[in-house]
Amino acid sequence: MSVSRRELLRLAGITAGLSAGGCLLAACGSPPGGPAGASPGPVRGGGTAPARRGGTLRLAFAGGGASETLDPLAAYSPADLVRSMVVFDRLFTVTDGAAAPALAVGAEPAADARSFVLTLREGVTWHDGSPLRAADVAYTLAALTAPTSGAAAELTAYLDVAKVSVTGERTLRVPTLRPVGDPATLLAGAGLPVIKEGTKSFRPGELAGTGAFRVTAFEAGREARLTRYERHWGGAPPADELVVLSIDDPQARVNAVRDGQADYASDIPYALAKAGAGAAGLEIRSAGERRRTGYGFVLNTTRAPMSDPGVRMALRLAVDRQALVDAVFLGYGGPANDLYGHGAQYFASDVPVLTRDVARARELIKAAGAEGARVTIRSADYETGLNASTELFAEQLRALGLDARPQIVPPAAYFDPDGLAGADAVVLPLGPHPLSVIFTRSAAYPSLAFADPELERQTATAVSTTDPRRREQAWRAAQRVMTERGNWIVWGLGDTLSLTRADVTGIEARDSAKYPYLGKAGFAA
Amino acid sequence: MRRPAPTARQVRALANRLIVAVFLLVLLSLVVYVGVDLLPGDPVTARLGQAGPARVAEVRAGLGLDRPLATRYLDWAAGLLRGDLGTSATGRPVAEMLSARLGNSMLPAAITVVLMVPSSLALGVTAGLFRGRPADRILSTALLLVVSVPEFVLAGGLVLVFAAGLRWLPAVSLVPAGGNPLDTPAVLVLPVTALLLLALGYAGRIIRAATAAALRAPHVEFLRLNGIPPRAVLARAVLPAVLPVAFQVWLTTAVGLVGGAVLVEKVFAYPGIGEVLITAVQTGDLPVVQALAMILGAAMLVALLLADLGTRAMVPSLRTAPR
């Protein structure tokens, strides 16, 4: 293996340092608004000024090399996901942490929550002019669950796809394998793009979506050119054309914007952002406080010492959140309250951040007889800073008298079930997904799940009840369990940063700010 | 001068070398396939890991990844013989994914080689002729510096100076969809410069050493002491000794440029195989890694074979001596 992600990140750091130096030498001046010597805070939000009609917007995202695809069900890299979201529409989207109607206007659960009726929006057309029909959705669900589809398909655990029945031109009945009380949020969280019935290949030209833009040219790992679809159900999008550039190296993305080869560079590492925007008319933006990603660890409660609730509490009391926030986020973030799902509907934001108490932590460890216990912490840099946070966390645990050892693996090997089961803690970043997604993903492996009867009862209720009040109470109770004795240590919330021309506007963060929705993006008037 | 007809012995020697080369290729395929398979991670775990073990197992079975290693190797090797490089974990044929990319990577490599051959010879021989004197010290130090600086720092420095600073050239080598790098030749300048500096550092130093060694040889000293003009000594005695060495260095460097440009391509976001290789390793897309390793390994074998034959052709004593 010739190069690891780690080395690439180091490279990014080195070149960031170089360009910062170059900037000083060339006397390009500090960005407007920032005091000399201090790095300016990022501009919040995705640009709120109304976008004017017209213009070609060039946006750079991390891509997937030659394995990029126009198949939205196989979308994987940020560039893939961004394209898929703007060319195809979803049934429901995640907007401000809750489900919002898109191609579907309703998902009405039956009284027993064992099925739901999906009603599609009227007046939606595919890029070839034909109307959206219920059969298209049924086809999409079948394609999703094909064994080789490669789609993550968390939905397959809930939907009884084989028994889906089309009940009208724009309605279908979807039976579920277990009760689902809020199908709209389930569908929104799964981010399911709808493809047209009979779609077999995904080539530019013949490909039809319902989205705000059509694909006119595509080269995997290089660029996709998308043109406005005037008849989009959400109104004609402002920009004439979007160019989605695949640039994997963050430094190269930054260079492309500074050099005027692109207007927007997504997901900029904190170290690069510290160097400032680097030229007049550019700005560093954060996707906003509600869009922050929770960085933390999930403890393996299936074996000692993490099976002891006292040890879990001790770790949460001992972790130096501020030190981690300073070292990993470089100021672009803040400490967190040990719960994943910040920014989501029903998130318990009133749970306070635990005050650090090392003496109490030592007592708890002693009471549990866990002094000197071996703690293996598994990590991979599939997001910037995960390995750094793991190294620092391990150091903090060693100061507590535990034999903590980071286990750094390549990203491709990270989710190996045996590897996860053999670790006492695993690193896990989670964005502002709906809580149902948060609780499913953080417990996707037996060694990560927290087997607690009350937690299981409450999450089951939260997912199955059709009553919003009961759902809110159940999520609250589930989060209380996690706060009191759970296996999460979410130490911080990190910003998602971008470098952009100041007049770029309308970039909407939906599921994740790392792959925003571009249907409303354009240049400010 | 009449070239003697190849003797039966020479033909047999050539045949032997080809047999050895084929044997090495088979061995290489085995090492590549098994070695890459042993890398931690697989495409399904990498992509679908978050979805949980049940889904991972289902898709693994769907892709046939749960079959024994030997079966999969034999399938893959049989495919190679038919010219089929296999199917990527994304479901696309590997050959389709690599074809355009290989061409893109070979283009700057080829330009670099064309520039490297004369310049490394000139630099190396000059430094060798002036060995120990200031000109040599400056040249050798410069070459050593270029070799020791990591390629991404070198490439990053070029971006700083020529793109960010002077704004002469694009910082990122973007190639529009549907086009190829020759449509926008400016995007090639910085990658080629970075590659050329790296190649010069390596080839120049070896050629310098070969020149210095040739100058110390007794027959060169004999010619010099007998008042033969330096130019003639260089042409008749020094260069013939240096060229076979240079030829080998050039060939291996050329192959190395295609494969070793990974980091340079990364810095410039140049759409070559480097990016494919990095993404494939990161996402555990093993069929792509295997195909690339096989292609580059085979190219290196062929280059070494050619270098060997070329050296034989250039060195009379090797050509005629019994083996």
CATH code of residue A276? 3.40.190.10
B contact residues 264-323, partner A, Cβ 8 Å cutoff: 266-269, 271, 275-285, 288
Which residue range(s) make up the domain with A67?
Answer: 31-88+211-288+497-525
CB of A306 within 8 A of CB of A487? yes
Chain B residues whose CB is inside 8 A of the A74 CB are: 90-91
In a domain, A130, yes or no: no
Tell me if A65 and B48 make a contact (CB, 8 A cut-off): no
Question: Which stretches within A331-467 are classed as H helix?
Answer: 358-367, 386-399, 417-421, 435-441, 453-464
HSE on the CB side for A140, CA within 13 Å? 26
- Report residue A385's pLDDT band, with 50, 70 and 90 as the boundaries: confident
CB of A80 within 8 A of CB of A328? no
My answer on whether A483 and A341 are in the same domain is yes
Which residue range(s) make up the domain with B188?
Answer: 97-319
My answer on whether A251 and A371 are in the same domain is no
Min mean pLDDT across A225-229, B57-61, B267-271 is at B57-61
The residue type of A1 is M
CB of A376 within 8 A of CB of A405? yes
Q: C-alpha distances in angstroms, A293 versus A257, A269, A384, A491?
A: 24, 13, 12, 11
In a domain, B305, yes or no: yes
- Report residue A24's pLDDT band, with 50, 70 and 90 as the boundaries: very low
My answer on whether A516 and A475 are in the same domain is no
CB of A349 within 8 A of CB of A342? yes
My answer on whether A347 and A461 are in the same domain is yes
My answer on whether A462 and A318 are in the same domain is yes
In a domain, B76, yes or no: no
In a domain, B54, yes or no: no
How many residues would you count in chain A? 525
My answer on whether A306 and A259 are in the same domain is no
- Report residue A484's pLDDT band, with 50, 70 and 90 as the boundaries: very high
Q: What is the pLDDT of residue A180?
A: 92
My answer on whether A377 and A510 are in the same domain is no
- Report residue A38's pLDDT band, with 50, 70 and 90 as the boundaries: very low
My answer on whether A360 and A470 are in the same domain is yes
Q: How far apart are CA A347 and CA A172, in angstroms?
A: 31
Among B48, B169, B174, B286, pick the best mutation site for testing chain A contact (most A Cβ within 10 A). Answer: B174
Q: Is the pLDDT of residue A22 over 70?
A: no
Distance from the A200 Cα atom to the nearest Cα atom in chain B, whole angstroms: 13
Tell me if B59 and A409 make a contact (CB, 8 A cut-off): no
CB of A319 within 8 A of CB of A483? no
Q: Region A113-135: what's the mean pLDDT?
A: 94
Total domains, chain B: 1
Q: How far apart are CA B209 and CA B236, in angstroms?
A: 18
| Residues contacting B168, CB < 8 A, separation 6+ | B162
- Report residue A33's pLDDT band, with 50, 70 and 90 as the boundaries: very low
Q: Which residue do the tokens 């040890």 mark?
A: A311
Q: Is the pLDDT of residue A40 over 80?
A: no
For A352, phi and psi rounded to 5 degrees?
Answer: -75, 160
Distance from the B154 Cα atom to the nearest Cα atom in chain A, whole angstroms: 10
pLDDT digits (tens, 9 = 90+) for B237-275: 888 889 988 988 998 888 778 766 777 888 888 888 887
The secondary element (H helix, E strand) that includes residue A261 is: none
Q: Region A12-32: what's the mean pLDDT?
A: 34
3-state SS of chain B: helix, strand, coil percent to 5?
A: 80, 0, 20
- Residue A152 has its nearest CB partner, among B42, B50, B266, at B50
Q: Region A143-158: what's the mean pLDDT?
A: 70
My answer on whether A306 and A421 are in the same domain is yes
Q: Is the pLDDT of residue B230 over 80?
A: yes
Any chain A CB within 8 A of the CB of B95? no
Mapping DSSP to helix (H, G, I), strand (E, B) and coil, where does residue A276 land?
Answer: coil
- Report residue A240's pLDDT band, with 50, 70 and 90 as the boundaries: very high
In a domain, A111, yes or no: no
My answer on whether A485 and A405 are in the same domain is yes
CATH number, position B180: 1.10.3720.10
Q: How far apart are CA B120 and CA B123, in angstroms?
A: 5
In a domain, B26, yes or no: no
Structure tokens at A11: 């490279």
Query: Higher confidence at residue B45 or residue A20?
Result: B45
Q: How far apart are CA B177 and CA A219, in angstroms?
A: 5
Q: What is the pLDDT of residue A3?
A: 36
Query: Higher confidence at residue B271 or residue A38?
Result: B271
Tell me if A222 and B281 make a contact (CB, 8 A cut-off): no
In a domain, A431, yes or no: yes
| Residues contacting B250, CB < 8 A, separation 6+ | B113, B116, B117, B120, B203
My answer on whether A483 and A468 are in the same domain is yes
Tell me if A416 and B45 make a contact (CB, 8 A cut-off): yes
CATH number, position A322: 3.10.105.10
Chain A residues whose CB is inside 8 A of the B152 CB are: 11, 14-15
Question: Using CB atoms within 10 A of its CB, is residue A506 exposed (0-12), middle (13-18) or buried (19+)?
Answer: buried
Among A56, A242, A247, A255, pick the best mutation site for testing chain B contact (most B Cβ within 10 A). Answer: A255
Q: Minimal Cα distance from B175: which residue of A?
A: A222
Q: Region B134-157: what's the mean pLDDT?
A: 85
Q: Region A185-205: what's the mean pLDDT?
A: 88
In a domain, B188, yes or no: yes
Q: How far apart are CA A396 and CA B291, in angstroms?
A: 44
pLDDT digits (tens, 9 = 90+) for A388-401: 999 999 999 999 99
In degrees to the nearest 10, what's the CA dihedral of A385, A387, A391, A397? 90
Q: Is the pLDDT of residue A521 over 90?
A: yes
Mapping DSSP to helix (H, G, I), strand (E, B) and coil, where does residue A255 land?
Answer: helix
pLDDT digits (tens, 9 = 90+) for A329-363: 998 999 999 999 998 999 999 999 999 999 999 99
How many residues would you count in chain B? 323
My answer on whether A454 and A515 are in the same domain is no
- Residue B177 has its nearest CB partner, among A222, A251, A262, at A222
N-term to C-term CA, chain B: 24
Tell me if A15 and B156 make a contact (CB, 8 A cut-off): yes
Any chain A CB within 8 A of the CB of B89? yes
Tell me if B88 and A252 make a contact (CB, 8 A cut-off): no
- What 8-state DSSP symbol labels residue B3? P
- Report residue A408's pLDDT band, with 50, 70 and 90 as the boundaries: very high
Total domains, chain A: 2
Q: Is the pLDDT of residue B318 over 70?
A: no
CB of B249 within 8 A of CB of B206? yes
Instruction: Write down the mean pLDDT value for chain B.
Output: 82
Tell me if A147 and B61 make a contact (CB, 8 A cut-off): yes
The secondary element (H helix, E strand) that includes residue A376 is: strand A374-379
Q: How far apart are CA B150 and CA B153, in angstroms?
A: 5
Q: How far apart are CA B115 and CA A351, in angstroms?
A: 65
Strand A425-430's sheet: what is its strand order?
A333-335, A488-494, A293-299, A425-430, A374-379, A403-408
